[in-house]
């Protein structure tokens, strides 16, 4: 089985995919791209999706869920600037019409078009930008890296950088690629914005297997950038598999399928890390690893509580090697363990052994906190389960972005 390697590019890296990103008019600023389209050129492209479980889910989420149930899709139409959430029946109607307009422009079945929106909520989404923007998108549709980059840029809201990735792997003599783009600023559910991701692959995978692979990859990546990220009103992750690489259908249970799953997971992890690192006001990416937990659930609870703790996150912003706040978060997480069995390392330095603080070199700690990624490792000594979560630090800029007097 060939190695999995990261390559340049995004959603157009796999064969048989085109993308575009343009200004269609969802935003007032004409210099800001606000509409993206991703298209598979292959009929019968397999599709899967994962969606927010927020009760206040947006109109496009409801519609795209039904597309995912069909297991086939050829296109994803996305806009930024307006989330089409808390918009009632008129919002549902707009979502359906935007789906129909996109399908008509591409000459495909509306049931094969995913729809996604991100931006302000509680404001009706206009249809006009679809009417004027779809011809622009069709004109720009291209399989180039630039076209993928334009699409990644068009879905940004409070993101400070576009986020795209691609990987390449070989299986049974065929070379496959998976590409992806995403937006969202991680755990902090910025400004009612959303996590959106579009993943493309030229591997041939049946819809049911694709759904399984996507769910596993999302659970280990986007769903590990703390609790808020998977629960906004619009969160959606779409995956299209068109088989254009020419290999056989990858069957669950085979080494080739396992390699595909691993490659998909690594791609999603890379995108998830980019999102956590781009959290609102963030200066650090924070990776929290919990091992020695009594169960998978305990590992998740413990890592999630540490990663969500405002006290831990403010300490990191202040370059404070504060083991006490980490211990307190573990202790209140609900995970089962004994305090005398706990070891904690920060940036590879032992700070707690057997539940007691151990002396460490404060100057060395300050030096290590200069790194862009901060690692926290906690071993609970209660079992064999482990997990990893990603978050960011918590700074004055977060308060400024989210709390300063409205203008």
194 annotated active-site: yes
State which of residues 212, 231, 254, 295 lies at the interface with a second copy (CB under 8 A). Answer: 231
| Residue 330 lies near a second copy (rule: CB under 8 A) | yes
State which of residues 93, 191, 212, 295 lies at the interface with a second copy (CB under 8 A). Answer: 191
- C-alpha span between 264 and 219 (Å, rounded): 12
Sign of CA dihedral 179, 185, 191, 192: positive
- C-alpha span between 141 and 255 (Å, rounded): 35
C-beta of 231 vs 375, nearer to a second copy: 231
Site string for a second copy, 379-398 (x = CB under 8 A): --------------xxxx-x
- Applying CB under 8 A, the site for a second copy has a residue count of 58
Q: With contacts defined by CB under 8 A, name the span among 34-42, 93-101, 136-144, 339-347 that binds a second copy.
A: 339-347
Q: With contacts defined by CB under 8 A, name the span among 1-9, 43-51, 134-142, 184-192 that binds a second copy.
A: 184-192
Site string for a second copy, 26-55 (x = CB under 8 A): ---------------------------xxx
Q: Which residues 110-139 are close enough to bind a second copy by CB under 8 A?
A: 121-122
DSSP string, 208-271: HHHHHHHHHHHHTTGGGS-GGGG-SSS-EEEEEE--TT--PBPPTTSHHHHHHHHHHHHHHHHH
CB-count exposure of residue 265 (10 Å: 0-12, 13-18, 19+): buried
Structure tokens at 81: 């600037």
CB-count exposure of residue 3 (10 Å: 0-12, 13-18, 19+): exposed
Shortest distance, CB of residue 314 to a second copy, whole angstroms? Answer: 3
- C-alpha span between 243 and 346 (Å, rounded): 44
What are the residue numbers of the active site?
194
Give the footprint of a second copy on this chain (CB under 8 A).
53-57, 86-88, 121-122, 188-189, 191-192, 227-228, 231-233, 310-311, 313-315, 317-320, 323-325, 327-328, 330-332, 335, 337-340, 342, 352, 355-357, 393-396, 398-400, 402-406
């Amino acid at each position: 089985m060939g190695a999995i390697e990261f390559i340049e590019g995004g959603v157009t890296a796999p064969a048989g995919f085109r993308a575009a990103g343009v200004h269609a008019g969802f935003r007032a600023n004409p210099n800001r791209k606000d509409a993206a389209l991703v298209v598979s050129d292959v009929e019968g492209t397999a599709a899967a999706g994962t969606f927010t479980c927020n009760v206040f889910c947006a109109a496009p989420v409801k519609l795209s869920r039904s597309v995912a149930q069909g297991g086939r899709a050829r296109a994803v139409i996305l806009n930024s600037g307006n989330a089409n959430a808390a918009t009632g029946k008129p919002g549902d109607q707009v979502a359906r019409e935007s789906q129909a307009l996109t399908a008509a422009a591409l000459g495909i079945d509306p049931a094969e078009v995913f729809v996604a929106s991100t931006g302000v909520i509680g404001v009706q989404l206009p249809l006009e930008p679809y009417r004027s923007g779809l011809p622009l998108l069709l004109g720009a549709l291209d399989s180039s890296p630039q076209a993928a980059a334009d699409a990644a840029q068009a879905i940004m809201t409070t993101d400070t950088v576009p986020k795209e990735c691609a990987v390449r792997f070989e299986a049974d003599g065929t070379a496959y690629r998976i590409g992806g783009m995403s937006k969202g600023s991680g755990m902090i559910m910025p400004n009612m914005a959303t996590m959106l991701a579009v993943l493309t692959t030229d591997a041939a995978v049946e819809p049911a297997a694709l759904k399984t692979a996507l769910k596993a990859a999302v659970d280990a990546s986007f769903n590990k950038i703390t609790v808020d990220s998977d629960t906004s009103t619009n969160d959606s992750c779409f995956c299209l598999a068109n088989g254009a690489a020419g290999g056989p259908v990858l069957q669950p249970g085979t080494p080739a399928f396992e390699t595909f799953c691993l490659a998909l997971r690594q791609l999603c992890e890379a995108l998830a890390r980019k999102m956590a690192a781009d959290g609102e006001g963030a200066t650090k990416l924070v990776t929290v690893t919990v091992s020695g937990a009594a169960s998978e659930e305990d590992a998740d609870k413990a890592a999630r509580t540490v990663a969500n703790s405002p006290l831990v996150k403010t300490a990191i912003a202040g370059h404070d090697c504060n083991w006490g706040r980490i211990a307190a978060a573990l202790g209140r997480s609900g995970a089962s363990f004994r305090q005398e069995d706990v070891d904690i390392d920060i940036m590879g330095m032992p700070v707690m052994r057997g539940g007691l603080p151990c002396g460490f070199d404060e100057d060395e700690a300050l030096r290590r906190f200069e790194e862009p990624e901060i690692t926290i490792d906690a071993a609970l000594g209660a079992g064999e389960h482990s997990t990893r979560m990603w978050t960011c630090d918590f700074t004055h800029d977060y308060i400024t972005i989210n709390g300063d007097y409205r203008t």
